[in-house]
Structure 1
Amino acid sequence: MRVLHTSDWHVGRTFHGRDLLADQEQVLSGLADLVTTERVDVVVISGDLYDRAVPSGEAVEMCVRVLARVREAGAQIVVTPGNHDSAARVGAFAEFAAAGGLHLRTRICGLHEPVLLDDAHGPVAFYGIPYLEPDPARRALQSCGDVPGAGDVDARGHAAVLTEAMRRITTDLRARASQTRSVVLAHAFVTGGEPTESERTIAVGGVEQVPGSVFDGAHYVALGHLHGPQRLDEHLRYSGSPVAYSFSEARQRKSVWLVDLAESGLAGVERRELPVPRRLATVRATLDDLLAHEQYADLEEAYLSATLTDEVRPLEAMRRLQQRFPHAVHLEWEPDAGRATSTLRYSEAVRGRDDHTLARGFVADCRGSEPTTSEQELLSEALRSADVAEAAG
């Protein structure tokens, strides 16, 4: 059996205020082509299908289109929710969806009940561990009743609830035929993994990291949560996100894992890189140099993070920068000579400008984009109120 390991789609996420739905659909739709060309039997999504617990209608519609293409290409789909998802919403109509080949494993009390799919060598059991926030998960595990293999559910922390989850899974697996192979989907921060700036912390209820030994007993563990593809052990891997969500991911090559299961278990894992709809780039220079020099021409179509080194902070820098680099989304000011000298000269740059222009420029510099018309009206109203209060003493 061949499994395609993916995670952290974060459908509906924005990038410094830019809508990424078109980029996401372009990349994720390509998974259907991989299913066809690589003869994939099962696609797994290990958490964070959506970026929000309540995704927008547009995000849901796009996700449905992508999942339908993958299913039409011939693969079964197994999904478990992450810390960004609402397990209840992702798992809605799970029984009906399973009839069409979409298996939604979202219930904590059902995490030891696998999706069983057969190949020429017998069954493969896919277990989905939804994201387990320690205290709510501990209470949910306690309420599950008489579950085979249930252990101590009074212990607290990420490692404790995941250990209990895996205890229930391995107990179920041991009760099955000896030739049953296993794939575990889990959304967690495993010790040894390297985070980026775009993951939301899961340090709730204690230390967020868990040891890889928690997952001993599974033939393959498809991890989600960290956005960089990485191998912690031959059978223990993060696929990473299919699209970059922070400039700390600019050097990553986004990819998925092709996992082959033979009669005795894991037979091999191969990496397949994903297309990049728009690359990320960072640059450090003065604003005038960025606007004038041909050496920066290759950055014009990239999502750009610019650090300006001008001695005096340029006014309306983002607006001017976007005239040449329309996809510039992030701006910082770090003068080479140091901020102390530059601050003394800032008064020269603002001399002769009215309060509204200064306030608008301040908002644009801090946020990286010009204030909207309604925001400018609010600024004007606030300044008028200040003038009235000052005149009244």
Structure 2
Amino acid sequence: MRFLHTSDWHLGRSFHGASTVPQLREVLRSIPDRVREHGVDAVIVAGDVFDHAAPAAELYEVLAEAIRGIREAGALVVITSGNHDSASRLGFQSEWAALGGVHVVTRPDGFRNPVTLRDEHGEVDVYGIPYLEPMLQRDLYPGERFRGHGELLTRVMGEVDETRAARGRRSVVVSHCFAASGGAADPDAGADLVWDLTAGGLDVVPAEIFGGADYAALGHLHGRGSPLPNVRYSGAPLHFSFSEATKPRGGWLVDLDAEGLAAVEWCPFPVPRPLVRLRGALESLLTDAEYREHERSWVEAVLTDRVRPIDAMRRLRERFPHCAHIEFDPEGAVPVERRSYASRVSRRSDLDVVDEFLVHVRSGEALDDIERAVVREAIAAAGTGETLAREGRED
């Protein structure tokens, strides 16, 4: 049996204020082609189908189109809910959907009724575990209390392992969590997302709890990774941040033979609009031919001009229509002291205050001798002098 393991579609997520629906729809339309090309029997979506708990109607249409294409290509579908999804909305009509080969597991106890698939070697049980918030799932194990996601999932997988042993079948587990082997995160999964899910209340789950399954299809991290050989993250199908720009997009092709896990192979997805970080002076970015290949990409520009250019975003978008973010890192700039404005100007003369201000707005560049003379004349002409109350005298 061959699975295509995907996750974290995040239908509805924006990218620096721009909709990602057109790009995501293009990627999802490519999945039926992969199903046909590689003879996939079932496509797995390991949580976070939507980016919000209340998706727009358009997003349901995109999801329906993707599922329809997969089914027409000949594969079954197994979906679980993630922490971004509304389990009740995603699972609505799941009982009827299962009759059409689309298995949507959103009930907290859904893992107790595995989806059973069949091939020439017999039966394969797919245990779908939706995202489980420990404080909200007290009915799963009455009388037991779990302080974190790791404790709850360890308990759930203990029950799954008992069921597996009793049924004696090959097994696949689908879960949405942050799993790490030996307490260490997989660097290929993307450290920035670890912070996101820690802040969101998800604690580390020992990857070893999934070790008894033939394969564990995980979701939540947006970069592919493998805490254990049989425990993997597919990552998201799109790049959702510039920190992911170099990470491949795709899913895992997972083969089970009569004995269990036989092979795992990476299946790349198309990248409709690549992400790129460009660094240089504004005029160089606007004119150099070496940047021509990035004119249709999402662009993050790091400008190295000594003086901050005026209207930089508008000018960049004339060449790079999808420039999404600008940072300033002037070459040769003097490091700016990180103090409050009030503390920087305390007990300073008016000339020094002007100098401090220009150091701030010009990224560390102070007045030169000519500029200092001009400012001194302007202060004198305004009748303020250079030694007013800033010398520290009380009113």
TM > 0.5: yes
The structure 2 residue matched to 1:336, chosen from 306, 331, 348, is 331
1:171-229 Cα deviation digits (max 9, x unpaired): 222221x3x11000001111133343357733369771111111132110001111111
Question: Which range is displaced more, 186-195 or 315-324?
Answer: 186-195
1:51-77 Cα deviation digits (max 9, x unpaired): 111111111111110111001111110
The structure 2 residue matched to 1:173, chosen from 158, 161, 164, is 164
Partner of 1:187: 176
Does 2:153 align with 1:162?
A: yes
Bigger Rg, which one: 2
Change (3 A) 1:103 1:348: closer
| Contact kept in structure 2, 1:83 and 1:202, CA below 8 Å | no
TM-score, with structure 1 as normaliser: 0.81
TM-score, with structure 2 as normaliser: 0.81
Partner of 1:274: 269
Change (3 A) 1:325 1:348: same
Counterpart-to-counterpart distance in 2, 1:267 and 1:322: 49
Counterpart-to-counterpart distance in 1, 2:245 and 2:104: 32
Alpha-carbon distance, 1:94 to partner: 0.8
Change (3 A) 1:314 1:65: same
Matches within 5 A, 1:204-215: 208-215=203-210
Partner of 1:325: 320
Change (3 A) 1:315 1:285: same
| Structure 2, unpaired ranges of 5+ | 337-354, 364-395
| Contact kept in structure 1, 2:211 and 2:230, CA below 8 Å | no
Alpha-carbon distance, 1:92 to partner: 0.7
1:210-256 Cα deviation digits (max 9, x unpaired): 11111132110001111111122221111111111111111111121
SS at match of 1:311: coil
* Corresponding residue pairs, total: 338
Change (3 A) 1:345 1:44: same
SS at match of 1:278: coil
SS at match of 1:260: strand
Partner of 2:392: none
Letter in 2 for 1:16: H
Counterpart-to-counterpart distance in 2, 1:248 and 1:155: 34
| Contact kept in structure 2, 1:94 and 1:103, CA below 8 Å | yes
CA RMSD of aligned residues (A): 2.1
Matches within 5 A, 1:349-388: none
Partner of 2:141: 142
Does 2:310 align with 1:315?
A: yes
Alpha-carbon distance, 1:12 to partner: 1.5
Alpha-carbon distance, 1:30 to partner: 0.7
Change (3 A) 1:205 1:297: closer
Alpha-carbon distance, 1:157 to partner: 0.9
Counterpart-to-counterpart distance in 2, 1:223 and 1:162: 13
SS at match of 1:108: coil
Partner of 2:54: 54
Alpha-carbon distance, 1:134 to partner: 2.5
The structure 2 residue matched to 1:201, chosen from 185, 196, 204, is 196
Change (3 A) 1:329 1:188: same
Counterpart-to-counterpart distance in 2, 1:347 and 1:104: 54
Letter in 1 for 2:177: A
Counterpart-to-counterpart distance in 2, 1:295 and 1:216: 48
Counterpart-to-counterpart distance in 2, 1:208 and 1:295: 44
| Contact kept in structure 2, 1:199 and 1:227, CA below 8 Å | no
1:103-150 Cα deviation digits (max 9, x unpaired): 01111123221001111111100111111222223x24235xxxxxxx
Alpha-carbon distance, 1:308 to partner: 1.1
Partner of 1:129: 129
| Contact kept in structure 2, 1:113 and 1:127, CA below 8 Å | yes
Partner of 1:27: 27
Change (3 A) 1:43 1:343: farther
| Contact kept in structure 2, 1:311 and 1:342, CA below 8 Å | no
SS at match of 1:141: coil
Counterpart-to-counterpart distance in 1, 2:79 and 2:58: 20
Change (3 A) 1:204 1:111: farther
| Contact kept in structure 2, 1:156 and 1:205, CA below 8 Å | no
Counterpart-to-counterpart distance in 1, 2:254 and 2:129: 19
1:14-58 Cα deviation digits (max 9, x unpaired): 111111111101111111011111111111100111111111111
SS at match of 1:257: strand
| Contact kept in structure 1, 2:110 and 2:130, CA below 8 Å | no
Paired-residue identity, %: 44
| Contact kept in structure 2, 1:116 and 1:126, CA below 8 Å | yes
Alpha-carbon distance, 1:13 to partner: 1.3
Counterpart-to-counterpart distance in 1, 2:122 and 2:361: 76
| Contact kept in structure 1, 2:178 and 2:202, CA below 8 Å | no
| Contact kept in structure 2, 1:193 and 1:226, CA below 8 Å | no
Letter in 1 for 2:141: Q
Partner of 2:289: 294
